Amino acid sequence: MLKTSSKPQDMAQELPVTTATATARVPNTKKLTLIPLIFLIYFEVAGGPYGEEPAVKAAGPLFAIIGFMVFPFIWSVPEALVTAELSTAYPGNGGFVIWADRAFGPFWGSLMGTWKFLSGVINVAAFPVLCIDYMKQLIPALGSGLPRYLAILCSTLGLSFLNYTGVTIVGYAAVALAAISLLPFILITLIALPKIRPHRWLSLGQQGVKKDWNLFFNTLFWNLNFWDNVSTLAGEVDHPQKTFPKALFISVIFTCLAYLFPLLAVIGALSVDQTEWEAGFMAQAAELIAGKWLKIFLEVGAVLSAIGLFEAQLSSSAFQLLGMADIGSLPKFFGLRSKWFNTPWVGILLSTSISLGVSYMNFTDIISSANFLYSLSMLLEFSSFVWLRRKFPMLKRPYRVPLRLPMLVFMCLVPCTFLVVIMAVATKKVYLVSAIMTVAGIGWYFLMKLCKSKKWLKFNIDGEVGVVENDQDRAVGHL
């Protein structure tokens, strides 16, 4: 426990913030260290170049290459910087919910939680679907009908049980899964080198193929977002103030290179119809470049990558609910942990159920819905980041983005502009789904407020962490 300095006389400035309250209640000596955290972040965001192919189909080779070269600077770096600063300033499992709550109040914290949770579990549903899309290359029966639905159901339930066994196990599993799933892409890049024709990188696409900017931007966004998801695991990380910035820095570089090199290799080595660049095309490319053995290897890698993606993001969604229970935003029931594995079993069960409910949607619809809700939450997150800098300029931040407030505003405006573009090109179906979920989230906040005032449900008060936020000092300690 950190030392508590003397509190200022103005007690109105004292705000509750959760750090590792859950671990304070339930003994848990197993913490995430740097290496497992790096690969958990990697699987929160990417998990390999699986799923980047639709960018080529949507806009052609040149725009796809430019997108994966430029987008990390527009989006990934700012989001990672925001996550590093706020996760070290507020190292609790509530993550971004705490940030919005501290900046704008409990209503916006609750709405942030709704948007992030729903976008997260919708995103989780995409991974079994993506896995089956790759597997159908080897087992055509998985392409449609009952076999496809059963495969998605069984894989989702099985992977959820693995998540239940513990976040530390998931972290070390992520290291092994990343190593194996990336190996076929390393091989395909090396084998393709003699076959590369650089002029193919400059192609704007085939004549007669209309550019689909909605699919293009959503593919980029889906492949390079969710850096802040790991903030909900801060209470499970060993020395988060030091570990988070290092892990995020390494993960950004590693992830971006893992996308770019295989894309350059396959585009440069093959001349194929642009419309063939569907999700799963990398497997066909592996066969064309090296033979069926590499295709099978890549298919196996896709399955392992989907497992890593599922596990990392399910952990974030489940621990988000636990963190919200810790700070009293949700009833204490949502913070229950397993007696055997110390994992948030209620969060895992609820996240899995919702993911199964949306898994019938096709891949494009899934990522579009997740992206829209995530865009709303990120607009709020960037606003919270800037406002907290202005509201508490002297707040102790173990990692601090080295920019003054005007430059921070500019840094956040660039990705926010992209968010607006993403939302503007959404379909009517996505607008409708997002509106319904937002209204439901607002209703949920007022329902929880009513339950708290009437004492119909138990909410957490004891065991929180007191934080004095003012311009002179910041004190952290268990109340």
Tell whether the model's pLDDT for residue 56 goes beyond 90.
yes
Judged by average pLDDT, the poorest of 128-132, 209-213, 266-270, 416-420 is 128-132
In this prediction, residue 275 carries a pLDDT of 87
CA 350 to the chain's CA centroid: 18
Residue 137 pairs in a beta bridge with none
Determine contact, residues 119/374, Cβ cutoff 8 Å: yes
Tokens of 99: 């940030």
Give the SS3 label for residue 473.
coil
Question: Which residue in the block uniquely carries the two structure tokens 């049980």?
Answer: 161
* pLDDT above 80 (res 438): yes
The CATH class given to the 17-478 domain equals: mainly alpha
Q: How far apart are CA 398 and CA 384, in angstroms?
A: 18
Q: Using the CB atoms, write b or e for 369-405: b if 16+ within 10 Å.
A: bbbbbbbbbbbbbbbbbbebbeebeebebbbebeeee
Q: Which residues pair with 478 in a beta bridge?
A: 465
Across the chain, how many H-helices and E-strands are there?
Answer: 17, 3
**pLDDT number for residue 6:** 37
Q: Which two tokens stand for residue 214?
A: 């909605």
Query: What pLDDT digit, counting tens, does each position of 7-23 carry?
Result: 333 333 334 444 434 33
Position with higher pLDDT, 323 vs 241: 323
Query: Angle formed by the axes of helices 363-391 and 77-89, to 10°?
Result: 50
Query: Do the beta carbons of residue 283 and residue 298 sit within 8 Å?
Result: yes
CA–CA gap between residue 179 and residue 216 (Å, rounded): 28
- Bridge partner residues of 476 (DSSP): 467
- CA 464-467-470 angle, to 5 degrees, is 160
Decide: 328 and 464 in contact? Cβ < 8 Å: yes
Say how far apart CA 235 and CA 383 lie, in whole Å: 24
The stretch 91-112 carries a mean pLDDT of 92
Mean pLDDT of the chain: 83
Which residue in the block uniquely carries the two structure tokens 């290291």?
175
Q: Where are the domains of the chain?
A: 17-478
Helix (H) or strand (E) holding 237: none
CA distance 184 to 382: 37
pLDDT band at 415 (very low <50, low <70, confident <90, very high): very high
- What are the Cα distances from residue 179, in Å, to 176, 185, 304, 308? 5, 11, 10, 11
Q: Report the amino acid identity of residue 428.
A: K
Residue 411's H or E segment, with its range, is helix 405-424
Would you say residue 201 has pLDDT above 70? yes
